[in-house]
Amino acid sequence: MSQSSEVATGPRSGLYTRLCSNWLFPLQERLKGHDSVALRRRLEASQWWSAEALAEQQAHRLRDFLLSIGQRVPYYQQLFAQAAFEPRGLQSVRDLQALPLLDKRSIRAHSAQMLAHGHGPLARYSTGGSSGEPLVFWIGKARKSHDVAAKWRATRWWGVDIGDPELVVWGSPIELRAQDRLKRLRDGLLRSHLLPAFGVSEATLDHFIASIQRRRPAMLFGYPSSLAQIAGRARQRSVDLSGLGIRVVFVTGELLYAAQRVLLQEVFGCPVANGYGARDAGFIAHECPAGSLHVCAEDIVLEVLRADGQPAAPGELGELVVTHLGTADFPFLRYRTGDMGALSPYACACGRGLPVLADVQGKSNHFVVAENGAVLPASALTYILRDMPQLVQYQIHQRARDHTVVRLVADTLDAHSHSRIVRDFQARLGAGVQIEVQRVEQIEVVPSGKHRFVLSELDAFAAPGGEARHA
Ligand SMILES: [Zn+2]
């Protein structure tokens, strides 16, 4: 692969990019009280350590983290006492099994007791509006620095750096609210430009395409569905964006489908780098040029747990549970992401010792209800569609127990595929369920700009899905 040999030498950056990466951005980080510059340098060294050395450092940091929160966080003082858990005795990540999992509900219930005594300045965050489980939490400077450093490291894996012209297609209301004058000035200096991913009309997509042509960014960043819509529109209009010099497309926030990856690669003429993380759980894993999703193991302890709570074997699917070691001010300890995934048994060809996430399958707490009342994970249906190579996007909309609409954005949909979808959906939901397959131009996004893969109007969804899973 020519790309990997190219980026192995580090970012090919111009003078202005070096100014940003070496001076402007570090200065901003210092003013914010972040030590992300030093952290990034450390991460760029430790990524080449052996898996064993990384695991040893992780266990060491985990012990320090647990000692800190056991002393400073009332919720964990109490919990450790109840469980007779002694952080000092921790030998490996497996010892975390003695502690309960943390979900959004427990954070909501104990938010005040989860703040550490003597914590530094904290920023308030909220998330989950689109998943129906809102969450308010706090982020301290240590965590912010670690997240910035981890994202920065992964950016540089691809031969680009902070300061290279970037176009961001994003719709999070938080990002938009933060668009005050100072942030616009900073983004302007760092050559990062935001296109709000709200409207999905053809006019908006054409405006996005014109922006990309005019600005000739070195990198694109956004939801896979938003960027795929832009790419699909460019292809439809035969607009060539492959020669603009875009070096990489970073996608995150949703599952990336194989067809989306191919579309983005072809239209923008560059590789696609997938990222997995969330505002609450943190920056968990990022794809390297050799194609592996590397877990940011220096800061993130990732457990993959089977339904019985036991650790899954390498390659075995389970729920992804995260401990973020930079969160001692407001701990995320064994936090349930609600996503399903598996760790790879194999090391990556790039030589980094960071663990590899083999598979991320999205929210486990999306359910559908079969004709007979059985509650099924939405993946029972999404699997059927994910095999279709021509599919760019889809949405499954359960309107009633006996009526489900399947909306597809696809280049083609032949009669064979159509009848296969109906047959496979009925096999899972019930033979009497009407399966209405619609080929559509686009799929509406929720107000945050995020794409919902599964919608249901059934009562079973009124309760938060995370709990239903254990019913
Ligand atoms: Zn790799």
Do residue 396 and residue 373 come from a single domain? yes
Number of domains forming the structure of the chain: 2
Q: How deeply is 198 buried, as exposed, middle or buried, from its count of CB atoms within 10 A (0-12, 13-18, 19+)?
A: middle
Ligand 1 mean position to 286 CA, how many Å? 9
CA of 296 to the centre of ligand 1 (A): 12
CATH of the domain at 420: 3.30.300.30
Residues 378 and 401 in one domain: yes
Are 119 and 329 in contact, with CB atoms under 8 Å apart? Answer: yes
The CA 20 to ligand 1 mean position distance, Å, reads 26
174, 93: one domain: yes
The size of the chain, in residues, is 471
Domain that holds residue 311: 2-341+349-362
How far away, in angstroms, is 4 Cα from ligand 1 center? 10
Q: In terms of domains, do 195 and 285 share one? A: yes
Q: How far is the CA of 157 from the centre of ligand 1 (A)?
A: 9
Orientation angle between helical segments 224-236 and 202-215, nearest 10 degrees: 90
* Token pair listed for 110: 């104990």
Instruction: Say what the pLDDT of residue 229 is.
Output: 85
Looking at the fold, whether 353 and 401 belong to one and the same domain comes out as: no
Whether residue 37 contacts residue 29, with contact meaning beta carbons closer than 8 Å, is answered with yes
Burial label for 69, CB within 10 Å (0-12, 13-18, 19+), is: buried
Q: Does one domain contain both 406 and 281?
A: no
**Which pLDDT belongs to residue 211?**
93
Going from the Cα of 258 to the center of ligand 1, the distance in angstroms, rounded, reads 19
Note whether 202 and 309 are same-domain residues: yes
CA of 17 to the centre of ligand 1 (A): 25
275 C-alpha to center of ligand 1: Å?
13
pLDDT at 31: 83
At position 188, the amino acid (one-letter code) is G
Could you tell me which residues come within 8 angstroms of residue 159 by beta carbon, excluding any fewer than 6 positions away?
Answer: 3, 6, 7, 10, 11, 12, 247, 248
Span from the CA of 350 to the centroid of ligand 1 (angstroms): 4
CB 6 within 8 A of CB 159: yes
Q: Which of 329, 362, 395 is at the close of a domain?
A: 362
Ligand 1 centroid to Cα of residue 452, in Å, is 30
Residues of the chain with pLDDT under 70: 1-13, 127-134, 171-182, 185, 197-200, 362-367, 374-377, 379, 386-387, 389, 445-452, 458-471
Q: Check whether residue 326 and residue 383 sit in a common domain.
A: no
Ligand 1 center to residue 55 CA distance, Å?
17
Residues 213 and 91 in one domain: yes
Distance (Å) from CA 338 to ligand 1 centroid = 25
Answer yes or no: do 375 and 296 share one domain.
no
Distance 47 CA to ligand 1 centre (A): 10
Query: 352 CA to middle of ligand 1, Å?
Result: 6
Q: How far is the CA of 458 from the centre of ligand 1 (A)?
A: 42
What's 149's domain CATH number?
3.40.50.12780
* Centre of ligand 1 from the C-alpha of residue 148, in Å: 20
Which of residues 362, 392, 425 is at a domain's end? 362
d(CA 19, CA 85) in angstroms, rounded, equals 49
Residues 229, 332: one domain? yes
Distance from the CA of 129 to the center of ligand 1, in angstroms?
33
Same domain for 381 and 335: no
| CA 122 – ligand 1 centroid, Å | 34
Region of residue 252 (phi > 0: left; psi between -120 and 50: alpha; otherwise: beta) = beta
Q: How far is the CA of 317 from the centre of ligand 1 (A)?
A: 21
CB count in 10 Å sphere of residue 432: 10
Cα–Cα distance measured from residue 204 to residue 197, given in angstroms and rounded to the nearest whole number = 9
Query: In the 3-class helix/strand/coil scheme, how is the chain assigned residue by residue?
Result: CHHHHHHCCCCCCCHHHHHHHHHHHHHHHHHCCCCHHHHHHHHHHHCCCCHHHHHHHHHHHHHHHHHHHHHHCHHHHHHHHHHCCCHHHCCCHHHHHHCCCECHHHHHHHCHHHCCCCCCCEEEEEECCCCCCCEEEEEEHHHHHHHHHHHHHHHHCCCCCECECEEEEECCHHHHHCCCHHHHHHHHHCCEEEEECCCCCHHHHHHHHHHHHHHCCCEEEECHHHHHHHHHHHHHCCCCCCCCCCCEEEECCCCCCHHHHHHHHHHHCCCEEEEEEECCCEEEEEECCCCCEEECCCCEEEEEECCCCCECCCCCCEEEEEEECCCCCCCCCCEEEEEEEEECCCCCCCCCCCCEEEEEEEECCCEEECCCCCEEECHHHHHHHHCCCCEEEEEEEEEECCEEEEEEEECCCCHHHHHHHHHHHHHHHCCCCEEEEEECCCCCCCCCCCCCCEEECCHHHCCCHHHHCCC
